[in-house]
Structure formats: structure tokens, C-alpha cells
Amino acid sequence: MYDVTVIIPTFKEEANIGRIVAEVDAVLKHHAINGEILVVDDNSPDRTIAIVNEQKKIQPNLNLVVRESDHGLSQSVAEGFFRASSDICVVMDADMSHPPALVPVMVNEIRAGYDVVIGSRYMEGGGIRKWPLKRRVISIGATFLGRLLFPDVSDPVSGFFAVKKRVVAHAALKPRGYKILLEVLGKGTWEKDLEIPFEFVDREIGSSKLKLKTIIEYAEQVIDIALFSISHHESAAWKEWKRVFKFGLVGISGIVVNMVVLWYLTEFVGLFYLVSSLFAIELSILNNFFWNDLWTFNAGASNRFSSRWHRLLAFHAVSAGGLVINMGILYLLTSVGGVYYLVSNIVGILVGFVWNFFVNRRVTWTRR
């Protein structure tokens, strides 16, 4: 029985597998970690399997699983979870793009109580080196879609992470493509996660396996996790959908406040409708902030966020963009298009709401 299993999925990695296994083993021994190295191979036609078998003769903690069918990186990692001889699993690529030196750091954080520890390329201190523009664009797009489900995770599609085995032990995983972490986050049972920065280095030897099919599979995966969360209310994705629903209800209350104030100040006080709108928008902003802060995110009971004053300032800054959108649409539709000002205001509010939700979730109520 081992304390940690390092899962390395492979396919045609004869140029890298010897080096990555040796470096991981050296790191485990240096930190006195009783660790297993589990190579899960998709029946590579090159010498990957032979090299691992040769190293097994002198490295008793090295094990190999050769998969004859249903090939794919995510499928290999999922099988690695099942075959692992420990309660902690670390997943990393074979091509040296993930630093073995961070394995002990991840293991220590799991032991400290985190369920999932993620190596992030996109948080402060992380980065990507030697990556062509096309792959950067695809990665940013994939990360954006993933963060729609998990806004607090800066890199939900990272291939470098550690997880407690119980998180995935009974999860209805449907592994596909290359984004197994998204599947773990979407269907695993977890509460506490942590991200640590690392610099991703593109493979120096071998070729990338990214294809159009991979992009299509990823889009299908995002949809599948979203649908899964609707019927599995214990999932992390469903908790985020509840926040979206609450944010929407608060937004509706803000619309009511905005419309009533706009109508009253314009019809009874006699203010010009654009001036009335300024007051109406500010009061609706305050209404939305306090309800979201107290109810949607329960921010006052958590130290995950910045101070309330910082959140209020951030909310106002984001809402300033919504104000420009709202006022612009109100003016264009009413003064240029001749639309009744209350109708114009509703359109402006709806468009501004979309802006406010996405940006505030990333700025105001994002994890410190």
C-alpha cells in the first residue's frame, strides 16, 4: 500500500517516459514519500511500454497498465484512479510540461485537508512557455467555458492536479478528450479546493495530440456536466447554478427598484428622464450589492473574499460599465428611436445585467 500514486497517461512517449519516471521517483524519494508511479498506456506502437518494463526491473514502485481499447488521455486517467494503490492521486503528463518538484507540495496540501489541488497556469505566478498562438487561443477559450461552471477555479482544464481518491471513487465519470479535471470537478464529491501556480512548458520532444475532435469532445463534455448538475444537486456545478438563480432574482428586485424610482422621479418630481435614471440606477446598484453579498454569496460569513468595502467598490466599478450600457441604450432607443422611455430602460437593464453577472462573478465575488 502506498501513500501517493502518481498517474502518468501515455501514448507514444518513448522519448519522454524514461526521464519523467526517473524525475518523479527522485522527487518522491527526496521527500520521503512512499509513492507509486503508475503509467497508464494506450497500447503505444513505439517503445514506451518496453522502456517502462525495463525500468520496472530496478524500480519496484513503478507499475504499468496497458489499455487495449477505448483509448484516450481522460480514459487512461480514470482507469488510473481505479487502479491506484493509495488514497491520494496526482495526475501529470509524460512530456515534462508539468514540474515533478510540485508533486510533494500538492501532496502536503491534500494531507492538510484539501480535496483537490490544482496546478494553475492562469493565476498569479503561473504561466505558459513555448506555446504557439493557436494553442494559447484554444486554451483560453476552453478555460473560459470551464469557468462558466466553476468561476472560482482559474484553471479548471489543467492536466496537473492532485485529488483524494474518495472524490472520484463513486463519481459517474464519462472521460473523454484531454480535460479529465473538468470531469472530476463536475461529477466528483468535493468541498475544498486549492490552486498553486506553475509554469507550463510545451513539450520539447514528440508532437501535440490536439485535434478538431478534441475540441468537439470538450464542448460535449461541458454540456454533459451542466446537464448532470441539474439532476445531481450535490455537485459543485449545481451550487454555482444556484448562485446564478439567486443573482437573477436579486437582479429582478433591482429592476423593480429602478423602474419605480425612475417612474416616480420623472412623473411626480418632474426630473428629466436621464437624470431620474441616474438616481434609479444607483439605488438599484446598492440594492443588488447588499442582497447578493448577504444572500447569493453569503460573503459576510466567509473569509474567502475581500472586505465588504472592497467588494462594494468593485461592484460599483463593474456597475459603471453596466451604467454606460444602460444609459446608452436608453438614450439611443428613446431619443433616436422614439421608443417609450420605460421600455427603453428595460432593454438597457437586461443587457447591463448580462455584463454585471459575468464580470462581477470574476471580480467582486471571486476567491482571494
- pLDDT of amino acid 236: 84
pTM for the full predicted model: 0.81
DSSP 32: T
Q: What is the residue-level pLDDT of the chain in tens, covering all 368 positions? A: 899 999 999 999 999 999 999 999 999 999 999 999 999 999 999 999 999 999 999 999 999 999 999 888 999 999 999 999 999 999 999 999 999 999 999 999 999 999 999 999 999 999 988 777 777 777 778 888 888 888 889 999 999 999 999 999 999 898 887 789 999 999 999 999 999 999 998 765 555 555 566 677 788 888 899 889 988 988 888 888 888 889 989 989 998 999 999 999 999 999 999 899 989 988 998 999 999 999 998 876 665 677 889 999 999 999 899 889 988 999 999 999 999 988 998 898 888 878 888 888 888 988 76
- pLDDT of amino acid 11: 94
- pLDDT of amino acid 206: 53
Overall size of the chain counted in residues: 368
**Cβ atoms of residues 134 and 211 within 8 Å:** no
- pLDDT of amino acid 293: 92
Nearest to 118 by CA among 150, 84, 90: 90
- pLDDT of amino acid 302: 61
Nearest to 195 by CA among 161, 237, 235: 161
Nearest to 93 by CA among 160, 43, 156: 160
Strands 199-201 and 127-129: parallel
- pLDDT of amino acid 368: 67
HSE toward the beta carbon, residue 360, CA cutoff 13 A: 30
Strands 35-41 and 62-66: parallel
- pLDDT of amino acid 167: 96
Please report how the helices 212-231 and 133-149 are oriented relative to each other, as an axis angle in degrees rounded to 10. Answer: 10
Q: Return d(Cα 289, Cα 40) in angstroms, integer.
A: 49
- pLDDT of amino acid 279: 93
Alpha helix segments (H runs only) across the chain: 17-30, 48-56, 73-83, 103-111, 133-149, 165-169, 180-187, 212-231, 236-264, 273-291, 308-331, 341-363
- pLDDT of amino acid 294: 92
